[in-house]
Amino acid sequence: MERASITGEVRSALGLVLTVTGLERAVGIGARCVVQGRKGPVLGEVVGIDEGGTRLLPFGSWDGIRTGDRVAVAQSGDEIRPDAAWIGRVIDALGRPLDGKGRLPEGTNPCPLRQTPPPAFQRRRVGAKIDTGVKVLDVFTPICHGQRMGVFAGSGVGKSTLMSMLARSAQADVIVVGLVGERGREVQDFIQEDLGEEGLARSVVVVSTGDEPPLMRRQAAWTATAVAEHFRDQGLSVLLLIDSVTRFAMAQREIGLAGGEPPTAKGYPPTIFAELPRLMERAGPGTGEAGDITALYTVLVDGDDMDDPIADAVRGIMDGHIVLDRRIAEQGRFPAVHL
């Protein structure tokens, strides 16, 4: 990894936060640095800067890092280069292959991970109805090209199963699936059983499991969205499925609190309520010759409380919402859509 000539050194470490001195004038929020620790280099991201130094969070673990260790500015790392060969592959939040099928070829067009949404006055209106292959949605809650929908449910009510049904059957050129904070044991189950060969053959799956650092879990949602934007810009119709936006919010909560932000509703810092629309507004109808991103975001409702702060915020951003009811699921009817 290339490094700039300006370097700093580790001053202190507390929990997830590493404080570095000597880089205050060289980096800004979101910049990436490489810490040369005793167990090898560790990639980190700048989440705060004050008179005490620059605060970093890791993409891995700070194990083996000591005071005085050298810290260098890394390559920007804020973009990926998707390619058509990514379809059918499983990657991590940094765009590295996880499926053992060899290296991923890089495309020619860089895609920023934190792209701004298309200008509102240049976007098309929502398009024609999509055939999702899920009858309860097609009949009672039809979804159109470029629409953004939220799927709200408690744990174990069938959100992931509904997403896999859409990935196998929905009318779209490319499917992009973002598994954010997923249980590690369920990843293979989702890919092999729920998604299957038919679904995977037209999908790009981005995975960050729940045991990974919060930066990786947050970035999984950004990476999945950037991949979807790449195929949208090729004029394709893209279906973006992110499971779940709640775990994206939880990752941002950990990052914000570690960076010194004040907690607000249910411990969530103010930045999460700014990050949610920035993420979700990137989906939707395209502009000019570009295609559309039709997006579904699952929301894990704590204790089946539909007034949870994240559920409430997402409802105000989405074009519509689908509620899965635990009582219906207990009766054995799936998908357990509450009508």
Q: In what order do the strands lie in the sheet with 320-323?
A: 90-92, 203-209, 174-182, 238-243, 293-300, 148-153, 320-323
pLDDT tens by residue, 199-246: 889 999 999 999 999 999 999 999 999 999 999 999 999 999 999 899
- The CA–CA distances, whole Å, from 261 to 23, 152, 178, 252 equal 21, 28, 27, 11
CA atoms within 13 A on the CB side of 333: 11
CATH of domain 79-330: 3.40.50.12240
Instruction: List the end-to-end C-alpha distance of the chain, in Å, as a whole number.
Output: 53
Beta strand 79-80 pairing with 111-112: antiparallel
Name the band, by pLDDT with cuts 50, 70 and 90, for residue 76: low
Rg of the chain on CA atoms, in Å: 20
Indicate if the pLDDT at residue 145 is higher than 60: yes
Indicate if the pLDDT at residue 106 is higher than 70: yes
Helix residue ranges per DSSP H, 146-269:
159-169, 184-189, 196-200, 214-233, 245-258
Same fold, 3-74 and 79-330: no
Name the band, by pLDDT with cuts 50, 70 and 90, for residue 1: very low
Name the band, by pLDDT with cuts 50, 70 and 90, for residue 98: very high
pLDDT > 70 in the chain, percent: 97
d(Cα 220, Cα 91) in Å, to the nearest integer? 9
CA atoms within 13 A on the CB side of 124: 18
Spatial neighbors of 298 by CB under 8 A, at least 6 apart, are 150, 151, 152, 153, 159, 160, 163, 242, 243, 244, 245, 246
Angle ∠(227,93,311) on CA atoms, nearest 5: 85
Spatial neighbors of 152 by CB under 8 A, at least 6 apart, are 298, 299, 301, 306, 311, 314, 315, 321, 322, 323, 324
b/e per residue 204-240 (b: at least 16 CB within 10 A): bbbbbbeebbbbbbbbbbbbbbbbbbbbbbbebbbbb
Mean pLDDT of all residues in 30-56? 91
134 φ/ψ angles, rounded to the nearest 5 degrees: -110, 105
Q: What is the DSSP string of 132-166?
A: -S-HHHHHHS-EETT-EEEEEE-TTSSHHHHHHHH
Coil, strand or helix: which one is 49? strand
Q: Which amino acid is at 114?
A: R
d(Cα 65, Cα 42) in Å, to the nearest integer? 9
Tokens, residue 315: 């409802």
Indicate if the pLDDT at residue 178 is higher than 80: yes
Strand partners, 92: 207
Strand partners, 334: none
pTM: 0.92
Coil, strand or helix: which one is 332? coil
Coil, strand or helix: which one is 20? strand
Indicate if the pLDDT at residue 100 is higher than 70: yes
In the chain, domain spans = 3-74, 79-330
Do residues 257 and 263 make contact, with C-beta atoms less than 8 angstroms apart? Answer: yes
Q: Which CATH number fits domain 3-74: 3.40.50.1820, 2.40.10.170, 3.40.50.300, 3.40.50.970?
A: 2.40.10.170
b/e per residue 78-111 (b: at least 16 CB within 10 A): bebbbbeebbebbbbbbbeeeeeeeebeebeeeb
Kind and range of the H or E element at 329?
helix 326-330
What is the maximal distance between C-alpha atoms in the chain?
A: 63
